[in-house]
Structure 1
Amino acid sequence: MTYGKVVSSTGREPPNAFRWEKNRQLTKMEERVNAENSEEVMLLEENIRHLQAEVAKLQCQRQRYREQLTLHSSEPLQDALSLLCGHEPREGAAHMVLSGLREEVEELEKDLQWQSRMNGISLRSCTASTLQSSSTKSVQQMCVSGQCSELEFQVELELSEIKGGERPEKSISSLNVVMCASDLHDFSSFLSGVEESNDLLLFFRTLRTFSDRVDERRRAFQHFQAKYGRVACVPDGCNWSLLTLHHPDLPGCTFVVRWTVDVSKEGEVTAKLDLLTKIPDRALRLFPSRAIGGAGEAFHSLLRLLGPEAALEEVIRAVGLITD
């Protein structure tokens, strides 16, 4: 007896065969889904292992930091922390903490005074406020005011710190410098360049040199005013840049010494002196036959040989403003 495949009169497979094919397809789909789920589970397990390893590493670092803190902690430090937190320190520890803080402040004040004497710059105040703070970057707005000799200044800046490397990278932005002095027309172009380049170090380095040259000019003019008060004076509002020499016996006969302190954008400070003459025609007839038209050039020659103060002394004597 031969058994063949049973086919319905419509030529289609019977319902049992159809269900068997459907079950086979469902089985393949389940196998594929299970395979995909297995891969996801393996990936998830691997991520969990990485996280566990990272947690273990962080726990080891935390334990190491605790050991270092315990190793370097001392009773004075613990007492100071207790005092700051409002807790009662050990008996007599409060006095020791305050005494230690006073000594530390005194040492810092001595160091600040030494720094001020060395660089000629005295700082009066310094304030800082945090504009941005994150794990990768912090930005602080700072305001520093002080004085260099007779020149008062105020510096406003933003200090940015990029974290993440072996050493934090710090940079200055939005630099603004305010000088509290009226005789700064020779310094203003330099300040503009400093604010554009944010070069704070160049500002402080040049400020000291500029202040020294301005002090030198002021002391020289004060010396001549005190020594030759009848003929030497600084015009009002000229801020020690001009020294006027009046002839006591020849009205209208005037010699003007113009002493400027120029500062380049690179911070090079140069003192420049010029001698200007104002001689009425009637007074020219009273001078010796030798013309004084070349007084300016002669004064520059004296400057190169003798320096500012000695050259001015020679000018005062040469034109007969004083007699020995």
Structure 2
Amino acid sequence: MEAELEAELQKLQAEVTDLEKQLQDQRRVMDFDFRGNLLHTLGVVCSQSAVPMERQMLALRLQEEVDELEEDLKRQTQMNGIRVVSCRRRREEESLEKKAVAERAGGSISAQRVCVSGVCSELSFQVEFKLSELKFGSRTKQTLSDLNIVMEESDLQSFSSFLSRVEESQDLLLFFRTLRTFCERCDERRRTFAHLQTEHPSIVSLPEGQRSEVMTLSLPQLPGCVLLVHWSVQVNKEGGVKSSVELLPKIPENALQLFQSSPVAGAAEAFHSLQRILGVEGALETVVMAMSHDQ
């Protein structure tokens, strides 16, 4: 019986120790994140000895600052199209070697692990990295390392080599810039396909929905004859984003035998010429309109 009680007591002591450690980590994160007026305000509001009137005024001021930050975040989201869903931070100990180097240089070093989840257009992402802060008096230098990026969508094959390069170079800005451009190109494709399908539902269909890379054009009076429009958005290792739109005719073999020469010869090149003159949307609109006149 005594052995069981002793084991239970040790278990409770271990839990208490773990909770105390978590509390210390949270306090360190707050010390790391909150500075200046914000830290002072939180200290006064949480203080038991603060004058009620002073506490109320500072609480109102704190609320104003929070509202301003929320408005700024909203503006940033509208400008860059990236919405942050969550941001988690936890204190992380630097190596003894780095601490010793910083101390010998007359400074100090601290670090935290940051995990940011967000959405750009309809693409979800999660970015995790280590943020180190080196202080020399009033000067502060921050460095980013251990970058890891996860894209939840499994069909983004063009992103794989690019993400590997970003993680290797620790270039987080390049990732967000490329992600935004990629999403803009995909949104352009989605809007164009949706518009054409809405205007010409009897001709245009999207086999995989509005986010599909493929749009099919067909006429009821010509069963089996289909024009496939393949609109891909590719990302290279350097972060360059390129759209490619191809027109691929699909005609049954028995129908091709009715013509002395191939009726689809040069169709792809003719479509490319239309793109150079009218742009992608104009070229697609022209092809669809030409088919609608044959109905």
Please state which band the TM-score falls in when normalised by the shorter chain: 0.7 to 0.9
CA distance in 1, matches of 2:53, 2:227: 74
Match of 2:14 in 1: none
Report whether the alignment pairs 1:241 with 2:241: no
Larger CA Rg, structure 1 vs 2 = 1
User: Cα distance, 1:287 vs. partner?
Assistant: 7.3
The gaps in structure 2 that reach 5 residues or longer are 1-35
Query: Quick check: 1:313 aligned with 2:285?
Result: yes
Whole-angstrom CA distance in 2 between matches of 1:223 and 1:237: 13
Aligned equivalent of 2:255: 283
Q: Give the direction of change, closer, same or farther, for the CA distance of 1:248–1:95 in structure 2 (3 Å limit).
A: same
More displaced 10-residue stretch of structure 1: 230-239 or 98-107: 230-239
Alpha-carbon offset, residue 169 of structure 1 = 3.2
Which of 169, 173, 177 aligns to 2:141? It is 169
Give the aligned residue type for 2:253. Answer: D
Aligned CA distance change for structure 1 residues 267 and 181 (closer, same or farther; 3 Å)? same
**Matched position secondary structure for 1:305:** helix
Displacement of 1:289 in angstroms is 7.3
- Give the Cα separation in 1 of the matches to 2:178 and 2:221: 44
Note the alpha carbon deviations across 1:46-68, whole angstroms, 9 max, x for none. Answer: xxxxxxxxxxxxxxxxxxxxxxx
Out of 232, 240, 246, the position equivalent to 2:204 is 232
Q: Which residue of 2 aligns with 1:81?
A: 43
Label 1:141 to 1:283 Cα distance change in 2 as closer, same or farther (>3 A). Answer: same
- 2:152 maps to 1:152: no
How far the C-alpha of 1:237 sits from its partner, in A, is: 7.4
- Aligned residue pairs, count: 249
Q: Is the 8 A contact 1:155 1:176 kept in 2?
A: yes
Question: CA contact under 8 A between 1:250 and 1:283: conserved in structure 2?
Answer: no
Q: Which of 88, 99, 109 matches 2:70?
A: 109
Question: Which deviates more from structure 2 when the two are superposed, residues 163-172 or residues 133-142?
Answer: 163-172
- When normalised by structure 1's length, the TM-score is 0.69
2:41–2:62 contact (8 Å) kept in structure 1: no
What is the SS of the residue equivalent to 1:168? strand
Give the direction of change, closer, same or farther, for the CA distance of 1:82–1:172 in structure 2 (3 Å limit). Answer: closer
Relative to structure 1, is the Cα distance of residues 159 and 217 closer, same or farther in structure 2, using a 3 angstrom cutoff?
same
1:98 to 51, 59, 72: 59
Structure 1: distance between partners of 2:110 and 2:40: 30
Aligned Cα root-mean-square deviation (Å): 2.8
Distance 2:51 2:138 in 1: 40
For the pair 1:186 / 2:158, whether they are aligned, the reply is yes
Contact 2:203 2:288 in 1 (8 A): no
How far did 1:274 drift? 0.6
Letter in 2 for 1:249: Q
CA distance in 1, matches of 2:166, 2:116: 16
Higher RCO, 1 vs 2 (CA within 8 Å, ≥6 residues apart): 2
Match of 2:217, as an amino acid? L
Tell me by how many angstroms 1:93 deviates. 2.3
Query: Which of residues 76, 93, 103 in structure 2 aligns to 1:132?
Result: 93
| Offset from partner CA, 1:84-134 (integer Å, 9 cap, x none) | 1222x2252232122111111111111111111111111121111111155
Q: Structure 1: how far apart are the matches of 2:283 and 2:39?
A: 64
Q: Deviations over 1:230-288 (max 9, x none)?
A: 12111237941111112221111011111011111111111101111111234346679
Question: Matches of 2:142 and 2:179 in 1, distance apart?
Answer: 23
Q: Which amino acid aligns with 2:151?
A: M
- Further displaced range: 105-114 or 155-164: 155-164
Shift of 1:194: 0.8
Measured in 2, the distance between the counterparts of 1:171 and 1:82 equals 32
Letter in 2 for 1:137: I
TM-score, structure 2 length as denominator?
Answer: 0.75
Q: Is the 8 A contact 1:157 1:174 kept in 2?
A: yes
In the TM superposition, residue 317 of structure 1 has moved relative to its aligned partner by 3.6
Q: Distance in 2 between matches of 1:78 and 1:255?
A: 66
- Counterparts of 1:122 and 1:152 in 2: how far apart (Å)? 10
